[in-house]
Amino acid sequence: MKNTAVVALSLSLALCAFCLGFDSHAKAQTAAAEPSRKPVVVELFTSEGCSTCPPADALLQKLQEQQPIAGADVIALEEHVDYWNSLGWTDPYSSAEYTQRQAAYAIALKNQEYTPQMVVDGRAQFIGSSERDAAMEIGKAARSVQTDVTIASSKTDPKGSQEFSVAVGKLVANTPGDVAEVWLAVTEDGLESSVNRGENSGQRLHHAATLRSLRKIGVADPNKTPSSFTGDPRLKLDSHWNAEKLRVVVFVQEKKSRVILGAASAKISH
């Protein structure tokens, strides 16, 4: 009986070891087989003067920090509009430029401007605090074909400026006759405000990926291969920005349709 028990125990241990080994191997295979994440640009039009915006701000931060959507590398842009500024609180991060950008989306997507509004890859828009819609649209965007975009940066020079090398691959899924513009954006994490007037009076608001700068650096040529655009834009860093919290984003966007064809992001080098 004792020998039988020893044999049974040995067989049991061997089987467990086999199962554990198989499980580890299976997990390794699954991880190796997981496709690389595709960049998806998620824009949030928001305002510190809007009482329904803080939950949307929190969702954007979650999407950026946790990256919860399978297959998607969320590139967040939090854009503060200025049309709330006359209602009691002037948003320190707001800009008429971002209001105009939202207006262009309203024309392309056939909707009215509102906050909080989330726009995914320039293709879909919805209420910015809707986690369900965000998951659905980001997942859909991650499954679409994309144009390759790469960014390489040099170290910041003593004068506070930095040069980037940008390359855009052959345009993919672009609309014939539309213009594929190449944009460079700078975002800053960790910004916050103590609001003492307006709808959010008494609250301390926290932000992620707040848009600090946005400019067009060129146009991609659909007839050029393997690169439809290359450039070396130089960026002057504002002394009020926290260099440790900055990211640079480059994306290719059609001028008429507003569809974003591809994007990339990188931390600012020091």
Q: What is the pTM of this model?
A: 0.86
pLDDT in tens, 101-154: 999 999 999 999 999 999 999 999 999 999 999 999 999 999 999 999 999 987
DSSP 241: S
Look at residue 127 in the predicted model and tell me its pLDDT. Answer: 98
Q: Kindly report, residue by residue over 174-185, the tens digit of the pLDDT.
A: 999 999 999 999
115 vs 269, residue with greater confidence:
115
Note the pLDDT tens digit of each residue in 9-38.
343 434 333 333 433 333 333 333 345 899
Average pLDDT of the residues of the chain: 88
pLDDT (average), residues 186-208 = 97
Would you state the torsion angle of the CA atoms of residues 166, 168, 169, 175, taken in this order, to the nearest 10 degrees?
Answer: 180
CATH number 3.30.70.270 given to 38-267: no
pLDDT-based confidence at 161, cuts 50/70/90?
confident
Q: Write the DSSP assignment of 71-134 as a string of letters.
A: TEEEEEEEEE-STTGGGT---TTB-HHHHHHHHHHHHHHT----SSEEEETTTEEEETT-HHHH
Please check the confidence at residue 258 and state whether its pLDDT lies above 60.
yes
pLDDT digits (tens, 9 = 90+) for 57-72: 999 999 999 999 999 9
Residue 8 has pLDDT above 90, yes or no: no
157 band by pLDDT with thresholds 50, 70 and 90: confident
Q: Are 112 and 130 in contact (CB under 8 A)?
A: no
- Cβ(181)–Cβ(214) below 8 Å: no
CA 105 to chain centre: 17
Cis peptide leading into 35, omega within 30 of 0? Answer: no
> Is there a contact between 216 and 182 (Cβ–Cβ < 8 Å)?
yes
CA atoms within 13 A on the CB side of 13: 6
| In the chain, where the domains are located | 38-267
Q: Which residue has the higher pLDDT, 237 or 25?
A: 237
Count other C-beta atoms under 10 Å from residue 233's C-beta: 18
